[in-house]
Structure 1
Amino acid sequence: MFVPFLIMLREGIEAALIVGIIASYLKQTGRGQWMPAVWVGVFLAAALALLVGGGLELVSAEFPQKQQELFEGVVGLVAVAILSSMVFWMRKVARSIKHSLHASLDHALEGSRHQVTALIAMVFFAVAREGLETVFFLLAVFQQSEGPAAPVGALLGLILAIGVGFVIYTGSMRLNLGAFLRWTGLFILVVAAGILANSVQALHEAGVWNHLQSVLFDFSTTLPMDGPVGSVLAGMFGYQDAPTTSTLGAYLIYLVVALVMFFLPTPAPARPSTSVSIQ
Structure 2
Amino acid sequence: MLVPFLIMLREGIEAALIVGIVASYLKQTGRGEWMPAVWVGVLLAVALSLFVGAALQLVSAQFPQKAQEFFEAIVGLIAVIVLSSMVFWMRKAARSIKSELHTHIDEALAHTSGQATALIAMVFFAVAREGLESVFFLLAIFQQSPSSEAPLGAVLGILVSIALGYGIYFGGVRMNLRRFFFWTGLFILVVAAGILAGTLRHFHEAGVWNSLQTVVIDLSEILPVSSPLGTILSGMFGYQDMPTLGEVIVYFSFLAISLYFFLRPYVSAAANAPATKPSN
Task: Identify the TM-score tier after normalising by the shorter chain.
Answer: over 0.9
Q: Look up the match of 1:107.
A: 107
Distance 2:168 2:111 in 1: 30
CA distance in 2, matches of 1:112, 1:9: 38
Paired AA for residue 204 in structure 2: H
Q: From the superposition, tell whether residues 109 and 68 of structure 1 become closer, same or farther in structure 2 (CA, over 3 Å).
A: same
Cα RMSD, aligned residues only? 1.2
Alignment of 1:134-153 (within 5 A): 134-153=134-153
The residue that corresponds to 1:18 in the other structure is: 18
- Look up the SS of the partner of 1:189 in the other structure: helix
3-state SS of 1:3 partner: helix
The answer to whether the 8 A contact 1:191-1:238 is kept is: yes
Structure 1: distance between partners of 2:267 and 2:164:
29
CA distance in 2, matches of 1:176, 1:105: 26
Any residues of structure 2 matched to 1:68-79 within 5 Å, and which? 68-79=68-79
Distance 1:255 1:268 in 2: 24
Following the alignment from structure 2 to structure 1, what is the Cα–Cα distance between the partners of residues 59 and 171? 43
* Structure 2 counterparts to residues 101-180 of structure 1, below 5 A: 101-111=101-111, 113-180=113-180
Alpha-carbon distance between aligned partners in 2 of 1:137 and 1:102, rounded to the nearest angstrom = 29
Amino acid aligned to 2:26: L
2:49 is aligned with 1:49: yes
What is the deviation of 1:111? 4.1
1:9 aligns with 2:9: yes
Amino acid at match of 1:50: L
Q: Runs of 5+ in structure 1 lacking a partner? A: 271-279
Counterpart Cα distance in 2 of 1:151 and 1:197:
22
1:195 partner SS: helix
Q: Deviations over 1:82-113 (max 9, x none)?
A: 00000001000111111111111011011463
Kindly indicate whether the alpha-carbon contact (under 8 Å) linking 1:95 and 1:269 is maintained by their aligned counterparts in 2.
Answer: no
Match of 2:239 in 1: 239
2:92 — aligned with what? Answer: 92
Which residue does the alignment assign to 2:64? 64
Cα shift at 1:269: 10
**Matching residue's letter, 1:90:** M
Structure 1 residues 48-57 or 107-116, which shifts more? 107-116
Which whole-Å CA distance do the structure 2 matches of 1:113 and 1:250 have between them? 52
3-state SS in 1 of match to 2:95? helix
AA aligned to 1:253 is S
SS of the residue aligned with 1:215? coil
Aligned residues: 270
Closer, same or farther: CA 112–80 of 1 in aligned 2, 3 Å:
farther
**Counterpart in 2 of 1:227?**
227
Query: How many Å apart are 1:163 and its aligned residue?
Result: 0.2
- CA distance in 2 between counterparts of 1:113 and 1:191 reads 46
Distance apart, 1:144 and its partner CA: 1.1
What percent of counterpart residues are identical? 64
Native 8 Å contact 1:16 1:162 kept in 2:
yes
Q: Where do 5+ consecutive residues of structure 2 fail to align? A: 271-280
Q: Any idea what the Cα deviations from partners look like across 1:167-194, whole Å, max 9, x if unmatched?
A: 0011102221111110000000000000
Q: Which residue identity is paired with 1:36?
A: P
What secondary structure sits across from 1:95 in the alignment? coil
Q: What amino acid does structure 2 have at the position aligned with 1:225?
A: V
Q: Report the more deviating stretch, 259-268 or 3-12.
A: 259-268
Q: Aligned pair in 2 of structure 1 residues 140, 112: CA closer, same or farther (>3 Å)?
A: farther
- Mapped to 2, the partners of 1:7 and 1:196 lie a distance apart of 17
Equivalent position amino acid for 1:68 in 2: Q
- Name the amino acid aligned to 1:53: G
- Asked if 1:189 is matched to 2:189, the reply is yes
Normalising to structure 2: TM-score of the pair?
0.94
Equivalent residues of 1:79, 1:140 under 8 A apart: yes
Contact 1:112 1:118 in 2 (8 A): no
Tell me the residue number matched to 1:254.
254
Change in CA separation of 1:111 and 1:177 when aligned onto 2, cut-off 3 Å: farther
